[in-house]
Chain A
Amino acid sequence: DTGVSQDPRHKITKRGQNVTFRCDPISEHNRLYWYRQTLGQGPEFLTYFQNEAQLEKSRLLSDRFSAERPKGSFSTLEIQRTEQGDSAMYLCASSLTQGLYNEQFFGPGTRLTVL
């Protein structure tokens, strides 16, 4: 078990550019979550997948954001036409649905800076 990994760890981009982040969950975890965290705040839920199906999206997830999990394993989060307000830490977490408590395991995050 190597834990949840995210790539890249840091991304600096110019306003208007597109960026894509990748998350590799713990193997066999069927649920995958994306959160966003701005400075001084707790993480905020963006979206989640059960296997390859995207089952819920937060209203925070504007139409410039898209997430995929094509084979029910890794996931990508793309932000199109980035804005300075998109600067944040993007966190990925995974969990199993079996069992009662669904503990979520978080990755180290991707820190996005939009200039």
Chain B
Amino acid sequence: DAKTTQPTSMDCAEGRAANLPCNHSTISGNEYVYWYRQIHSQGPQYIIHGLKNNETNEMASLIITEDRKSSTLILPHATLRDTAVYYCIVREGYGGATNKLIFGTGTLLAVQP
């Protein structure tokens, strides 16, 4: 699986959009970009994933650059409950592989009141 690079930490004001970047310059053609987050003392939670098109769900939007070497997770209106560590992961979408998740150290997003 390709490696990802994320900033260690970021701050965001409550109610504003939080934009979390991720670099995955060695991503291969069959690998998807996944985002999970982990609120303190809880297990990771799936947020969103994408291959090459931008994606949106009720939690967030995912913007993937045309060359797929980087992406941005957008939380449109951050709340205090969005304070968490956000992990960007690339892996094959499907297959006989384990589909295990390889986590980095993620980005600690601190939403400020």
Contact = CB atoms under 8 A, between A and B. Distances in A.
A and B associate in one complex: yes
B49 A56 contact: no
Contacts of A105: 46
Interface string A77-111: 00000000000000101010001111111111100
Contacts of A48: 98, 100
Interface stretch (A12-20, A35-43, A61-69): A35-43
A4 interface: yes
B43 A109 contact: yes
A44 B93 contact: no
B46 A104 contact: yes
A20 B63 CA distance: 42
Which applies to chain B's interface (DSSP): helix, strand, loop or mixed?
A: loop
A102 B106 CA distance: 21
A4 B42 CA distance: 12
Contacts of B87: 42
A55 B94 contact: no
Given A100-B93, A101-B32, A101-B93, A91 B43 contact: yes
Contacts of A109: 42-43
Interface string B35-47: 0000001111110
A35 B38 CA distance: 14
Interface in A10-40: 31, 33, 35, 40
Contacts of B46: 103-105
A106 B106 contact: no
A106 B104 CA distance: 17
Contacts of B94: 99-102
Among A43, A45, A100, A105, max chain B CB count under 10 A is at A43
B103 A56 contact: no
Contacts of A40: 105
Contact of A44 (B42, B85, B98, B103): B103
